Structure 1
Amino acid sequence: MSQKKVFVVLLAVSSVSLLLHRGGHLIWTMKVFRLDCPSLQVHPSPKPKHTSIAFLKTHKTASSTVQNLLFRFAERHNLTVALPYQSCDHQFCYPRPFSARFVHPHTVPPRIITNHMRFNLSELRRVMPNDTLYVTILREPASMFESLFSYYNQYCQAFRHVPNGSLEAFLADPWRYYRPDEKDSMYARNTLTFDLGGDKDHAPSDGDYVSSFIAGIERVFSLVMIAEHFDESLVLLRRLLSWDLEDVLYVKLNMRTSGSKQNLSNELPAQIRDWNALDSRLYDHFNASLWRQLDALGPECVAREVELLRAARDRVVRGCFGGQLPQLRPATQIKNKELRPWQPSSKVDIVGYDLPPNASRPEAGAGRGPTTSASS
């Protein structure tokens, strides 16, 4: 995607946020939690909201949703967000390891950093404050790889070599098509491991390497979210940052149509997990870790928080879309060109929403607050 289009999209998202925020904070009648859930109150603690955050935006994991939550939070609280030099496009010169020199000087010193990068802790510490909290998100490797294969089919050389763009053909003999040093090879094997700064081609049988890599992530990242349990992850994120409920409301964008997705049946998921064995170890470890944290808070308390989040989200969205939940539309049917999602290729259909004509004039009493974000 070109630099110009990226910033046009970001401008559109910011404009929508401003429209939906007009008039102040979100107002609604909140349900009351029982006293045995003190950590999950609508305002979780008297502590001030945490504002120093480094979010490692991984690929095809719903990370754009989290990114736009952070963009919106920064906008509301007048926080500086680190942005890359124009020569890095909309990413911090990915797939090169992150360097402090990739950050545009007009966005220094930042409080939040969230664009795609390959993780490099020492360089991030040169840019970010000492109290920065590190967060990232993972996705189940089989569904993630299917999405990567579909999305980057025209860009990743390993995928372009496959006859008829067949995922089955690639998985039957991946070393026939995959070259570790080839352009965009990071999309074709252990993408999560690569994004987190690891060696995507390290032998998964090397248990010491895998254990050390996972332990390093645990030491640095205060929270590893899981895409399949996104709302539950937001419960933990909100608690970690001492944020309000309205700070984590969202609407999904950047989604593929069902016709652009391949159903994974029979042996395909196992083949994908075997080919992406390092990512599979990462995901399984941190998925289990997420549920240990949720269990420690109490399943009933978490369930009530998730229910409240979803109800509040739907109420605000209805207020912003004329009382109805928004309908997904193909990009060609979205009248506002600035809100049309980018189409990676003719084989992939990304759908989005069109704002109603009166979006800038909310009805009296309609819910107002943050809604717009995106999901990879």
Structure 2
Amino acid sequence: MSCMYGMRFQKTTNQTGFKCQTPAAYWQVKEWQLSHHVLEFTPVNKRVTSLHLRVRDRSLTVVSAYGPNMSAVYPAFLESLGGVQDSAPTGHSVVLVGDFNAHVGNDSLRPKHTDVVFLKTHKTASSTMQNILFRFAERHNLTVALPNYGGQFSYPYLFQRSSVHPHTLPPNIITNHMRFNKKELEKLMPPGSVYITTMRDTSSMFESLFVYCYTGSEAFHRVPNRSLGAFLENPFKYYHPKEKYSMLARNCLTYDLGGNKDNTSIDYARQLAAEVEKTFSLVMISNYFDESLILLRYLLNWDLEDIIYFKSNMRSEKAKKKVTPELSAKIRAWNSIDDYLFEHFNASLWRQLNAIGLDCVAREVQLLRKAQQKLMKTCFGEEAPRLKSASKMKNNILKPWLPGNVEIMGYELVQNLTADARRLCTKLTMPELQYSNAMLKAQSKRYLKEHAKDHRGQRLKT
């Protein structure tokens, strides 16, 4: 966050945000009586205030901020700060001053946050985020809550603690698919756990759901010739709200969040958005995944290496359907609650990014992508991934699950890797089902070993 502290921001009409510049001398306002130059003073909240000044022929907005030292509330602080900066009149120079607490200076003095609830929503780059969390847990010897059976926590039913494998208790992280149930999660996870989820623009998310879940959704499977247009022409011809997997065909994001997929009133959408905002410290947007990861890194005080990733669960280009503007409008109308949530939290994301400074974020994104390219060169022998259709892959460890006839792409690693490099590259490219199984096997081994020690200790005492 040091990129933000002590900087001067210039707001102009031809920019979408703030340009982060090197520290510069601010105008000397002390030569005049300050009160004669105050245009407006606004105490936004207990942490942020703004002061509009007119100094000679220049207009100046001074934003004073006092940052919280709790990671869970820092995104809300950033959003309020970004909102103040956005409201500065065009042409004003914006000076940001104050105390950003533990988020300024040497972040190594602040420990990494390791207790995380990640709500894995459908078709929102959540498998990629899950891979990041799995690798973080392994590097730091953390426990990840895993399902008793398969890769999901009794989905599509609400999450219950009883669906967690006993060898993965007590957990630091939970990340497999579930339908959100806050009360049950609070009983399972450590106090102070940070709640995170991902969203995606409604049109591309629904198109992906339609293709990927065509055989799994009763509604989609009724549609002749796998035609997305035919479904959207008359959705209720195919959609039956009481069917087990009906959520895949309407407002799936809302359902994953524990909401009512069939209540399409605007009041309900606002209520649900407020509940999500209150619970989740960060809502990532997969359309801006790298920028979202920068916010995640600051929130959890992680290192750059903690957020490096390769994309997971990708379809081939020929497995994607073209979405025209007309189809997009129909998708958004049919999934109106999901669309409201996306628009709301996309705006929230950019307020937080603006508060940091878009140039600062861009520099961090560039560093992330350079680190990715370096790893790609190690794993694939070039700065682009070696992709292969899963149906043609022989390496079952890296072979993604195939949903029906959908072509999913997997990774092929180069042969001449060192043992350490092969281990890292394999984990970066391992599909979620194989990784979940590997995590369960490793954690069960650790659990049984620790409980065997406890049992021997009790026998010696007796």
TM-score, normalising length from structure 2? 0.69
Q: Deviations over 1:339-364 (max 9, x none)?
A: 11111112x1001111222234478x
Give, in whole Å, the separation in 2 of the partners of 1:304 and 1:174: 44
Give the match for residue 292 of structure 1: 351
Give the match for residue 54 of structure 1: 117
1:145 matched to 2:206? The reply is yes
Q: Determine which structure has greater relative contact order: mean sequence separation of CA pairs < 8 Å that are 6+ residues apart, divided by chain length.
A: 1
Give, in whole Å, the separation in 2 of the partners of 1:102 and 1:170: 34
Equivalent in 337, 347, 350 of residue 278 of structure 1: 337
- In the alignment of these two chains, the number of paired residues is 336
Q: Kindly tell me: are residues 303 and 100 of structure 1, through their superposed partners in 2, closer, same or farther at Cα, counting changes over 3 Å?
A: same
Amino acid at match of 2:112: K
1:233 matched to 2:296? The reply is no
Task: Give the SS at the match of 1:267.
Answer: helix
Normalized per residue, the structure richer in strand is 2
Give the match for residue 16 of structure 2: none
Give the match for residue 107 of structure 1: 168
Task: Give the SS at the match of 1:351.
Answer: strand
Q: Deviations over 1:132-186 (max 9, x none)?
A: 0000000111101000000111121101111112111100000111000112101
Give, in whole Å, the separation in 1 of the partners of 2:356 and 2:427: 26
Give, in whole Å, the separation in 1 of the partners of 2:110 and 2:307: 17
Q: Deviations over 1:309-365 (max 9, x none)?
A: 00111112212333553221112443312211111112x1001111222234478xx
Give, in whole Å, the separation in 2 of the partners of 1:40 and 1:258: 41
Give, in whole Å, the separation in 2 of the partners of 1:176 and 1:70: 40
Q: Kindly tell me: are residues 263 and 305 of structure 1, through their superposed partners in 2, closer, same or farther at Cα, counting changes over 3 Å?
A: same
Instruction: Among all aligned residue pairs of Structure 1 and Structure 2, give the percentage whose two residues are the same amino acid.
Output: 53
Q: Kindly tell me: are residues 230 and 44 of structure 1, through their superposed partners in 2, closer, same or farther at Cα, counting changes over 3 Å?
A: farther
> Is 248-257 or 189-198 further displaced after alignment?
248-257
Amino acid at match of 1:158: A
Q: Deviations over 1:75-102 (max 9, x none)?
A: 011101001112xx21000010011111
1:78 matched to 2:144? The reply is no
Give the match for residue 315 of structure 1: 374
Task: Give the SS at the match of 1:283.
Answer: helix
Equivalent in 241, 247, 250 of residue 309 of structure 2: 250
Contact 2:145 2:168 in 1 (8 A): yes
Give the match for residue 15 of structure 1: none
1:156 matched to 2:156? The reply is no
Deviation of residue 207 (structure 1)? 3.0
Give, in whole Å, the separation in 2 of the partners of 1:375 and 1:80: 17
Give, in whole Å, the separation in 1 of the partners of 2:103 and 2:389: 38
Give the match for residue 359 of structure 1: 417
| Structure 2, unpaired ranges of 5+ | 1-20, 25-95, 434-462
Contact 2:127 2:432 in 1 (8 A): yes
Task: Give the SS at the match of 2:136.
Answer: helix
Contact 1:94 1:118 in 2 (8 A): yes
Contact 1:63 1:375 in 2 (8 A): no
Task: Give the SS at the match of 1:224.
Answer: strand
1:1-376 equivalences under 5 Å are: 44-86=107-149, 89-202=150-263, 204=264, 206-346=265-405, 348-361=406-419, 371-372=428-429
Give, in whole Å, the separation in 1 of the partners of 2:147 and 2:170: 13
Contact 1:152 1:344 in 2 (8 A): yes
Q: Kindly tell me: are residues 44 and 334 of structure 1, through their superposed partners in 2, closer, same or farther at Cα, counting changes over 3 Å?
A: farther
Give, in whole Å, the separation in 1 of the partners of 2:278 and 2:252: 21
Amino acid at match of 2:256: D
| Structure 1, unpaired ranges of 5+ | 1-32
TM-score, normalising length from structure 1? 0.84
Q: Kindly tell me: are residues 303 and 250 of structure 1, through their superposed partners in 2, closer, same or farther at Cα, counting changes over 3 Å?
A: same
Q: Kindly tell me: are residues 194 and 368 of structure 1, through their superposed partners in 2, closer, same or farther at Cα, counting changes over 3 Å?
A: closer
Contact 1:233 1:290 in 2 (8 A): yes
> Is 276-285 or 333-342 further displaced after alignment?
333-342
